[in-house]
Amino acid sequence: MSRAMFDLLLKGLWETVVMTGVSGSLSFVIGLPLALILVTTDRGGIFQNLAVNRVLGLVVNALRSIPFIILLVAVIPLTRLITGSAIGIAAAIVPLTIAAAPYFARVAEVSLREVDRPLIDAARAMGATRWTILREVLIPEALPGIVSGFTVTIVTLIGASAMAGAVGAGGLGDIAIRYGYQRFETAVMLAVVAILIVMVVGMQWAGDRLARRIDRR
């Protein structure tokens, strides 16, 4: 493999890391509050509001039901409005975030629902406010599961960012399409696949290790 191709792979790796990192961070910032609202506004929740819960659940499910390749095209007007372009790294971050945030919200919701109900009842009995229960009981107890769910979300985003490369987003996916597929350079395709495997395995290992470290059970 030539020096130029090696440099191109490094550039693609950096672009993929940026796309995944920024969209992953945004999905966490958006998805965790969504998960908290879904759990706390459900029947028996500390902020019970069934109307809000049903509407928000419907929106989250609707976004999750759209295949990512279709979402990429469907949000082009919004992407242009936010970034001024429909191609490039910044443009890819918009659909990646829209796809990942509701996905992470549902994953985090599962972890939050697994918190033992007696813990919440005990906090209430001791006079804790609803916000205190949210901050001191619900989130800390669910944190290992939330971290594991976020790890899965990042792994999913790595694959989605490669898919976004097929429509001009850049990154490793773009290199795989332009060189590995269109120019039949098998070595480039294999290199991209190897890099993606290392990224996924490394991210999963780091996420699992962090989740075990913060697990107080």
Could you read off the pLDDT of 3-36 as tens digits, one per residue? Answer: 777 788 898 899 899 999 999 999 999 999 999 9
Which band of pLDDT confidence, cut at 50, 70 and 90, is reported for residue 183?
confident
Task: Please report the pLDDT score of residue 1 as a whole number.
Answer: 60
pLDDT confidence tier of residue 216, bands split at 50, 70 and 90 = low
Query: What pLDDT is recorded for position 123?
Result: 84
DSSP label at residue 21:
H
Question: What amino acid is encoded at 150 in this protein?
Answer: F
| Averaged pLDDT, 84-109 | 90
For residues 175 and 82, give the distance between their C-alpha atoms in angstroms, rounded to a whole number: 25
In this prediction, residues 87-111 reach a mean pLDDT of 91
Phi-psi region of 170 (alpha: psi -120 to 50; beta: other; left: phi over 0): left
Q: Which residue has the higher pLDDT, 180 or 77?
A: 77
Q: How far is CA 206 from CA 23, 29, 110, 152, 199, in A?
A: 18, 20, 21, 11, 11
Is residue 108's pLDDT more than 90? yes
For 46-75, what is each residue's pLDDT tens digit? 888 999 999 999 999 999 999 888 888 888
CA distances from 168 to 23, 24, 178 (A): 17, 20, 10
Q: How far apart are CA 212 and CA 216, in angstroms?
A: 9
Mean pLDDT of the region 73-99: 88
Residue 112: which residues within 8 A CB-CB, separation 6 or more? 35, 36, 39, 138, 139, 142, 145, 146
Q: Determine the pLDDT at residue 125.
A: 83
Residue 75, SS3 per DSSP: coil
Does an H or E element contain 188, and which?
helix 186-214
Separation of alpha carbons 92 and 163, rounded Å: 10
Q: Where are the alpha helices (DSSP H) in 41-184?
A: 50-64, 68-74, 76-83, 89-113, 117-125, 130-133, 139-164, 171-175
Angle formed at CA 57 by CA 51 and CA 63, multiple of 5 degrees = 140
Q: What is the mean pLDDT of residues 172-192?
A: 81
Mean pLDDT, rounded, of the chain: 88
Domains of the chain plus CATH, in order, are 3-214 (1.10.3720.10)
Q: What is the pLDDT of residue 60?
A: 94
